[in-house]
């Protein structure tokens, strides 16, 4: 396998983006990513597009071809990747594999989602169907907050995690969202406000849930020779990617206090990169709901099982702490355009590793220059963990 570098990244502003259509939204990420890489659209040999809701949340059914045409990429090899909320990582993994395997020298991963073209109950319905429709939605009307709320009740019962602990995740991530100009929510919230917000699926309240978001992110990946040829000044290397999955039915899982796919994918990523959790200096984890961030700390080995809330309470996941997590605002405050999230995580970590996080206040101090992205699809149905290093 060849070494692969990230040499260009771009990210649209996240939020309710009814000012642009889906192709125009992708363009907002593709253009800066190509410019950052010093490449042109015609240089891209292969593009993988991650999007979960094509033909559901938005009207285009073959968005890879639509986006490629709009961004001048027609002629490149194209595919769309679906791995629910980790579709962006699946696209990144595909582009990585193409370059690492020597099939192409320059590839593009694009993450894209347009979720505000349908009304909210319909959007909730489509996400809710992203489990096992036949057995868990058809008769029981499960929603995504509900799937994670079940993990919250189990985690609270087993480890004594509280509703206040969950709210603390929201407070932390909104604090960093307020420092991130691309974030959907750029204002801080108080613990009281989070705790007093309306219940969505008990014990999860409005501020425990990531929002409905439109957004795109793009990443240019290059072989070592191509990175040199394009004179990439600060290539960020892909140390390793781990992946795993779990059953479609939540009822077929071992337990509800963590995600087995996260633990397995991170083990593979650490092994591929030749590192351990203690080497990671900055991480983006999949905080689609507040409980998910607490479980991620544990599943990724940032702390022991059941110690996630303690790690958070002690401020270890803030800038200046032992392992800063989601200092871009996370899915919670930056927003969660489902298929874009995986690529947006790579955007953030690349900028952190280049020490160009937009606000210096959220730049993590680095010694080893090791970062980790953890992207979950569904309720741990899919998982991708990526280690990046400079």
Partner 1 sequence: MASTDFTLKSRPLTLAYQIPAGRTRRFWEGLREGKVYATRCPKCRKTYFPPAADCPNCLTPEMDWIELSGEAEIEAFTRIETQPASFQEQKPYTVAIGRMKSGVKVLAWLVDAELKDIRVGMKARLTTRVMPDGEPTYVFVPAA
Cα(326)–Cα(334) distance, integer angstroms: 9
Spell out the residues 6+ positions from residue 303 whose beta carbon is closer than 8 angstroms to its own: 297, 310, 311, 316
Q: Specify the residue, 121 or 181, whose C-beta has the smaller distance to partner 1.
A: 121
Does residue 16 interact with partner 1 by CB under 8 A?
yes
Cα(148)–Cα(291) distance, integer angstroms: 7
Site string for partner 1, 80-119 (x = CB under 8 A): -------------------------------------x-x
Does residue 146 interact with partner 1 by CB under 8 A?
yes
Alpha helix locations (H) across 101-143? 120-128
Q: Which of 53, 48, 66, 54 is nearest to 110 (CA)?
A: 48
Does residue 197 interact with partner 1 by CB under 8 A?
no
Q: Which residues pair with 241 in a beta bridge?
A: 386
374 part of the active site: no
Q: Is 267 exposed, middle or buried (0-12, 13-18, 19+ CB in 10 A)?
A: middle
Strand 4-11 to 215-223 pairing: antiparallel
- Closest distance between partner 1 and the C-beta of residue 284, in Å? 26
Size of the site for partner 1 (CB under 8 A): 48
Q: Which of 155, 160, 152 is nearest to 208 (CA)?
A: 152
Exactly one of 40, 122, 190, 196 binds partner 1 (CB under 8 A); which one?
Answer: 122
Q: Specify the residue, 37 or 52, whose C-beta has the smaller distance to partner 1.
A: 52
Does residue 163 interact with partner 1 by CB under 8 A?
no
Exactly one of 5, 54, 204, 265 binds partner 1 (CB under 8 A); which one?
Answer: 204
CA trace torsion 162, 166, 172, 173 (10° rounding): 170
- Closest distance between partner 1 and the C-beta of residue 29, in Å? 17
Exactly one of 183, 201, 288, 373 binds partner 1 (CB under 8 A); which one?
Answer: 201
Q: Is 115 exposed, middle or buried (0-12, 13-18, 19+ CB in 10 A)?
A: buried
- Closest distance between partner 1 and the C-beta of residue 153, in Å? 5
85 part of the active site: yes
Which parts of 206-265 interact with partner 1 (CB under 8 A)?
249-253, 255-256
Q: How far is CA 369 from the centre of its chain?
A: 20
Exactly one of 65, 124, 358, 366 binds partner 1 (CB under 8 A); which one?
Answer: 124
Exactly one of 2, 69, 199, 304 binds partner 1 (CB under 8 A); which one?
Answer: 199
Spell out the residues 6+ positions from residue 343 whose beta carbon is closer than 8 angstroms to its own: 29, 50, 88, 89, 91, 92, 109, 110, 111, 216, 217, 218, 219
Which parts of 39-68 interact with partner 1 (CB under 8 A)?
59
Query: Interface with partner 1 by CB under 8 A: which residues?
Result: 16, 18-20, 59, 117, 119, 121-122, 124-125, 128-129, 132, 134-137, 139-143, 145-146, 149-154, 156-158, 198-204, 249-253, 255-256
Active-site residues, by number, are 85, 336
């Amino acid at each position: 396998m060849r070494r692969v570098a990230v040499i260009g990244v771009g990210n649209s502003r996240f939020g309710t983006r009814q000012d642009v259509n889906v192709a125009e939204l992708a363009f907002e990420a593709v253009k800066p990513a190509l410019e950052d890489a010093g490449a042109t659209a015609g240089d891209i040999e292969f593009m993988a597009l991650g999007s979960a809701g094509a033909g559901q949340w938005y009207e285009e059914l073959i968005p890879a071809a639509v986006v490629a045409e709009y961004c001048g990429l027609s002629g490149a090899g194209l595919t769309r990747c679906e791995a629910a909320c980790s579709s962006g990582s699946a696209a990144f993994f595909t582009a990585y594999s193409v370059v690492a395997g020597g099939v192409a020298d320059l590839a593009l991963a694009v993450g894209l989602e347009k979720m505000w073209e349908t009304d909210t109950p319909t959007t909730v319905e489509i996400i809710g169907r992203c489990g096992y429709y036949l057995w868990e939605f058809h008769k029981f009307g499960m929603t995504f907050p509900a799937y994670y709320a079940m993990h919250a009740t189990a985690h609270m019962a087993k480890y004594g995690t509280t509703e206040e602990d969950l709210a603390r995740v929201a407070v932390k991530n909104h604090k960093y969202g307020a420092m991130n100009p691309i974030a959907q929510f750029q204002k801080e919230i108080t613990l009281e406000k989070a705790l007093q917000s309306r219940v969505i699926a008990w014990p999860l309240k409005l501020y425990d849930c990531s929002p409905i978001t439109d957004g795109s992110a793009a990443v240019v990946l290059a072989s070592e020779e191509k990175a040199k040829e394009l004179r990439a000044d600060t290539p960020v290397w892909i140390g390793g990617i781990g992946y795993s999955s779990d059953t479609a039915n939540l009822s077929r899982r071992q337990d509800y206090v963590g995600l087995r796919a996260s633990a397995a994918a991170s083990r593979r990523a650490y092994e591929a990169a030749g590192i351990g959790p203690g080497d990671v200096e900055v991480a983006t984890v999949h905080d689609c709901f507040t409980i998910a961030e607490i479980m991620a700390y544990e599943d990724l080995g940032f702390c022991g099982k059941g110690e996630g809330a303690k790690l958070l309470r002690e401020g270890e996941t803030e800038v200046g702490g032992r392992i800063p997590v989601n200092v871009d605002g996370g899915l919670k405050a930056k927003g969660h355009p489902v298929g874009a999230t995986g690529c947006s995580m790579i955007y953030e970590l690349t900028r952190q590793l280049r020490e160009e996080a937009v606000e210096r206040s959220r730049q993590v101090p680095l010694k080893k220059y090791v970062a980790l992205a953890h992207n979950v699809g569904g309720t741990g149905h899919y998982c991708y963990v990526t280690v990046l290093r400079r």
